[in-house]
Amino acid sequence: MVDEDAMGEASAPMRWNGWGDPAAAKELPLAVRALLPMLLGRVRKPEPAAELDEVELAPTRLGDADRAALAALVGAEHVALDGEARLRHAGGRSTPDLLRRRARRQDAPDGVVRPADHDEVVAVLALAVARDLAVVPYGGGTSVVGGLDPERGVHRAVIALDLGRLSGLAALDETSGEARLGAGTTGPEAERLLGAHGFELGHFPQSFRYATLGGFAAARSSGQNSAGNGRFDAMVTGLRVATPTGELDLGRAPGSAAGPDLVRLFLGSEGAFGVITEVRLRVHPVPAARRCEAWSFPDFATGAEALRRVAQLGTGPTVIRLSDEAETGVSLAQVGRIGKALAKGASAITVFEGEAALVAERHARTAAVLRDAGGTSTGQAAAEEWLHGRFSAPYLRDALLDHGVFCETLETATTWSNLARLKREVTAAITDGFAARGAKSLVLCHVSHVYPTGAALYFTIIAGQGKGQASSTAPAAVDEQLEEWGRVKAGVNDAIVAAGGTISHHHGVGRDHAPWLEREIGPVGLRILRAVKAELDPHGILNPGALITTDASRAMDASRASDASRASDASRASDASRGGATAGAY
């Protein structure tokens, strides 16, 4: 169930260098401004961020012939080479993305192409191969892991393939509870289209207002209601995919043993194997009832144990999440603002949605478990406040950045038995990393998703400025800030891998996590990904550097350039990069 206020703002184009609707931008609350110096030391406010029209881009590498060829496929009005269109497709919304844009350090794709449908996507991919163009599939632009960087690799130019026109409800099977939607359909648009028939998707990541169904699938999204409705992975019953060497229409039955489930190979493929053009999804009737309740636990460990019991018993909450003591204190995750100390201990949110009698039963059963595990109900109000503000937190980041305060999020997951260790190691990596540069930081954490065998941890990081660090949007100062964060983030990734966590629970790999992927799936796992990519995208035009490390992409491209036979190259490249990666990463 999605509230009207969550839907309302989605029609406005996203800020080019920040989050969401420009009209919804927030100033930093006074209470927070008062609190920050105490937490982070003195933070100097930098000069204002650059405006879009102040950014000078490198000229496009696309010529008139490219433009004409693309226009012949999708129509001239759907090929844009102007600076604004290019900057608006220049990457995702990680904090480094935003810092770069604020400082005019942003590269941009050479053009933006907006195909109308699956067949036009197929045609654009063929043209891209023929004209040596890299292609970055682009949905809502909400990647926070560098999944949308305009990287051209060794290709002549790079285009952003904006899938916004592949939007809409292609079919709804009300009996089976299954819908086919265009991959470019945004979260709110999907809910609106399904809602007209009495159905909902019920997938609410924080990016909900802007992200697209194709993006959810390509990056293996998980949402706030995933405890009840499942990860996006679990909702997908089929995919239509265009690759440079052929098309796929996958997913034939609700359960199958007809070989490996190839749908799962494209979930998480991040545009590196093909372009998802259509998503088939399990949908369900708009919930008839909702019940919310907030809880307080003496500490995070007690709360985590309570959530474990709920997940393992399967008492059926739609949403269940638990903030640690730091996050509870500043209530950032709950109300979208810092500074209101709601409670001591660790607070949790539960929401139940569905048929009225089931909601009542599940609520009662879950409440009994939470009480028994040491929780105290704090009533409905705090839970409803969280629901109301749940898509607003990213706006706060922009306000913090305006004030020179670094703010970023990251996430991981592990088994229940390993949760405390992983939380400790990640927190230490963050605080030690900033401290090494003389900067104070504050780490807030919550359990964002639960499973019978484990849970996901979501960290919010706020950091002040290091000793002697310039507070400026001047390029050199931003480069220094990006380098500092890169070092901290690398330490965190190392800590996650060493502590047995996954490098990402729901943000994806992109380019930011790609160097760590081999340590998660092993060298043979990486060889499998490269073999699949070589088979489907032998020229390596699709999102080069995303998912599979840039070095590998470059090796593959270099090998391709020097040899006529695509098949043998791809394997050779794979061998070459494999050796390199093994020597490097281990």
Site for a second copy in 411-450 (CB under 8 A): 412-418, 449
Q: Note the residue count of the chain.
A: 586
Site string for a second copy, 167-206 (x = CB under 8 A): ------x-xxxx----------------------------
Binding status of residue 377 toward a second copy by CB under 8 A: no
Q: Residue 456 and residue 503: Cα distance in Å, rounded?
A: 11
Q: Which stretch in 52-60, 130-138, 255-263, 482-490 sits in contact with a second copy by CB under 8 A?
A: 255-263
Q: Residue 445 and residue 136: Cα distance in Å, rounded?
A: 32
Binding status of residue 253 toward a second copy by CB under 8 A: yes
Q: What angle do CA 93, 280, 204 make, to 5 degrees?
A: 40
Q: Which stretch in 99-107, 247-255, 327-335, 376-384 sits in contact with a second copy by CB under 8 A?
A: 247-255
Binding status of residue 254 toward a second copy by CB under 8 A: yes
What are the counts of helices (DSSP H) followed by strands (DSSP E) for the chain?
A: 22, 18
User: Which one among 67, 245, 409, 558 touches a second copy, defined by CB under 8 A?
Assistant: 245
Close Cβ partners of 355 (under 8 Å, ≥ 6 residues apart): 287, 288, 289
C-alpha closest to that of 207 among 409, 405, 34, 28: 409
Q: How far is the CB of 155 from a second copy (least distance, A)?
A: 22
Q: Taking a C-beta distance cutoff of 8 angstroms, is the pair 184, 270 a contact?
A: no
Directed axis angle between helix 95-102 and helix 393-402, to 10°?
Answer: 40
Binding status of residue 507 toward a second copy by CB under 8 A: yes
- The interface with a second copy within residues 46-75 (CB under 8 A) comprises none
Strand partners, 236: 281
Q: Report the residue number, 143 or 185, with the smaller CB distance to a second copy.
A: 143
Q: Which stretch in 49-57, 293-301, 343-351, 453-461 sits in contact with a second copy by CB under 8 A?
A: 453-461
Binding status of residue 384 toward a second copy by CB under 8 A: no
β strands within 464-519, DSSP E: none
User: How many other C-beta atoms can be found within 10 angstroms of the C-beta atom of residue 494?
Assistant: 14
Binding status of residue 21 toward a second copy by CB under 8 A: no
HSE on the CB side for 549, CA within 13 Å?
23
Amino acid letter at 92?
A: G
- The interface with a second copy within residues 80-109 (CB under 8 A) comprises none
HSE on the CB side for 287, CA within 13 Å?
21
Q: What 3-state class would DSSP assign to 60?
A: coil
Q: Report the residue number, 245 or 472, with the smaller CB distance to a second copy.
A: 245
Q: How far is the CB of 227 from a second copy (least distance, A)?
A: 11
Binding status of residue 586 toward a second copy by CB under 8 A: no
Directed axis angle between helix 514-536 and helix 566-585, to 10°?
Answer: 170
- The interface with a second copy within residues 454-493 (CB under 8 A) comprises 454-456
Strand partners, 79: 113
Q: How far is the CB of 176 from a second copy (least distance, A)?
A: 4
Q: How far is the CB of 115 from a second copy (least distance, A)?
A: 19
Q: Report the residue number, 528 or 561, with the smaller CB distance to a second copy.
A: 528
Q: How far is the CB of 111 from a second copy (least distance, A)?
A: 28
Q: Report the residue number, 16 or 273, with the smaller CB distance to a second copy.
A: 273
Question: Total residues at the site for a second copy (CB under 8 A)?
Answer: 100
**CB burial string 134-154: b at 16+ within 10 A, e below:** bbbbbbbbbbbbbbbbbbbbe
Q: Which two tokens stand for residue 162?
A: 């904006």
Q: Report the residue number, 483 or 563, with the smaller CB distance to a second copy.
A: 563
Binding status of residue 240 toward a second copy by CB under 8 A: no
Site string for a second copy, 218-237 (x = CB under 8 A): -xxxx--------x-x---x
- The interface with a second copy within residues 554-583 (CB under 8 A) comprises 565, 567-568, 570-572, 574-575
Q: Which stretch in 26-34, 214-222, 342-350, 471-479 sits in contact with a second copy by CB under 8 A?
A: 214-222
Q: Residue 144 and residue 92: Cα distance in Å, rounded?
A: 6
Q: Report the residue number, 141 or 339, with the smaller CB distance to a second copy.
A: 141
Burial of 76 (0-12, 13-18, 19+ CB in 10 A): exposed
Strand partners, 173: 178
- The interface with a second copy within residues 295-334 (CB under 8 A) comprises 308, 312-316
User: How many other C-beta atoms can be found within 10 angstroms of the C-beta atom of residue 372?
Assistant: 10
Site string for a second copy, 125-164 (x = CB under 8 A): ----------------------------------------
Q: Report the residue number, 437 or 507, with the smaller CB distance to a second copy.
A: 507
C-alpha 106: how far from chain center: 20
Binding status of residue 498 toward a second copy by CB under 8 A: no
Q: How far is the CB of 504 from a second copy (least distance, A)?
A: 5
Q: How far is the CB of 391 from a second copy (least distance, A)?
A: 20
User: Which one among 33, 67, 197, 264 touches a second copy, defined by CB under 8 A?
Assistant: 264
Binding status of residue 527 toward a second copy by CB under 8 A: yes
Q: Report the residue number, 246 or 379, with the smaller CB distance to a second copy.
A: 246
C-alpha closest to that of 202 among 218, 222, 175, 172: 222
Close Cβ partners of 346 (under 8 Å, ≥ 6 residues apart): 296, 297, 298, 299, 300, 302, 303, 322, 323, 324, 325, 328
The side-by-side arrangement of strands in the sheet containing 178-182 is 169-173, 178-182, 275-282, 236-243, 246-250
Q: Which two tokens stand for residue 423?
A: 């939380």
Q: Which stretch in 1-9, 95-103, 429-437, 533-541 sits in contact with a second copy by CB under 8 A?
A: 533-541
Q: Which stretch in 68-76, 127-135, 286-294, 517-525 sits in contact with a second copy by CB under 8 A?
A: 517-525
Q: Which stretch in 34-42, 73-81, 326-334, 409-417 sits in contact with a second copy by CB under 8 A?
A: 409-417
Helices (H), 390-451: 393-402, 419-435
Q: How far is the CB of 156 from a second copy (least distance, A)?
A: 25
Close Cβ partners of 13 (under 8 Å, ≥ 6 residues apart): 88
Q: Which residue has the tokens 């090796």?
A: 555
- The interface with a second copy within residues 278-297 (CB under 8 A) comprises 282, 284
Q: Which two tokens stand for residue 85?
A: 């269109």
Q: Report the residue number, 316 or 389, with the smaller CB distance to a second copy.
A: 316
Q: Which two tokens stand for residue 198?
A: 């009495």
Q: How far is the CB of 363 from a second copy (least distance, A)?
A: 12
